[in-house]
Amino acid sequence: MEIHAVRALLRLYQKSVTSCLNYKNLQGASGISHQPKILEDKPEKRSTTEGGATGGDSTEENCPICFSPFTDKESLSCKHEFCKLCLQEAEKSSGPICPVCRKVFGIIQGDQPDGTMTWTKSSVEVPGFPHCGTITITYSIPSGRQTEKHPKPGHFYTGTSRTAYLPDNKEGNEVLMLLKKAFDQKLIFTIGASRTTGCEDQVTWNDIHHKTSLYGGPGCYGYPDPNYLSRVREELKAKGIE
């Protein structure tokens, strides 16, 4: 009786093992798995706008100069924001110009030495501008000694006299007034090395281009040059003159 019971238990065990093996083989053949499926967390998509700010309702929380959270946040008219001290240091370095978009937010004062700007008008026609006369501008900057605003305080600098020309029409007179404003803000000239002679401590042009000849075209800094007035307006605008 006991032997019969043992044999019955062995047959039951064999059936159980065989059933398990068949089930595993079925899984392997079909590729079906009944293990719980783990869902991977996918990173949230974030849209960004120009300047690195996150799109949507969120706002930029770090100063674009020091890349740290704002301290005494200041906003400019162009909507860019900075730490107060960061903006002050940037202004000391490059003037009242937004470090992000380069828009001028104040009055730029240059280091042009003292001098005079005068102009006269004549009936001489400017090439490319028929039926209008000429505005002749005369700049005079005497020699002197450099101040703390200049590259070599206390050193002597060589002055200059320059002549420039504009057409005597509506736009030419508008540019004349813009140049006068730039001269009053000491932006027309600076002190540095001459681009023609290489000599140091010279009064030189300061990146606002002038027509120093009536003739010869752009290659000779003269006329005709149909795009000159619009170009010089852009150069003046970059310095906050408009």
Q: Are 186 and 107 in contact (CB under 8 A)?
A: no
Q: Which of these ranges, 20-24, 129-133, 187-191, has the smallest mean pLDDT?
A: 20-24
What is the distance between the alpha carbons of residues 114 and 171, in angstroms, rounded to a whole number?
27
Q: 95 pLDDT exceeds 90?
A: no
Beta strand extents in the chain (DSSP E only) = 73-75, 81-83, 116-122, 134-141, 144-145, 156-157, 160-167, 189-192, 202-205
Mean pLDDT score across all residues of the chain? 81
For the domain covering 58-106, report its CATH number: 3.30.40.10
Q: Which helix (H) or strand (E) holds 41?
A: none
Highest mean pLDDT among 36-50, 60-74, 198-212: 198-212
Average pLDDT for 117-121: 98
Q: Say whether 30 sits in a helix, a strand or coil.
A: helix
Best CA proximity match to 76, nearest among 56, 91, 66:
91
Give pLDDT, residue 7. 52
Mean pLDDT of 134-150: 96
Percent of the chain beyond pLDDT 70? 75
pLDDT tens digits for range 153-194 = 999 999 999 999 999 999 999 999 999 999 999 999 999 999
Structure tokens that stand for 24 in this block: 């595993």
CA dist., res. 223 & res. 165, Å (int): 9
- Domain over 116-237 is classified CATH 3.40.50.1820: no
CB atoms within 10 A of CB 8: 10
Contact status, residue 201 vs residue 152, Cβ threshold 8 Å: yes
Spatial neighbors of 8 by CB under 8 A, at least 6 apart, are: none
Give 130's contacts (C-beta < 8 A, 6+ positions apart).
none
State residue 3's pLDDT score. Answer: 43
Q: Are 93 and 86 in contact (CB under 8 A)?
A: no
The pLDDT score that the predictor gives to residue 60 is 66
Q: Which residue has the higher pLDDT, 7 or 131?
A: 131
Most confident by average pLDDT, 61-70, 76-85, 228-237: 228-237
Domain boundaries, given as residue ranges, for the chain: 58-106, 116-237
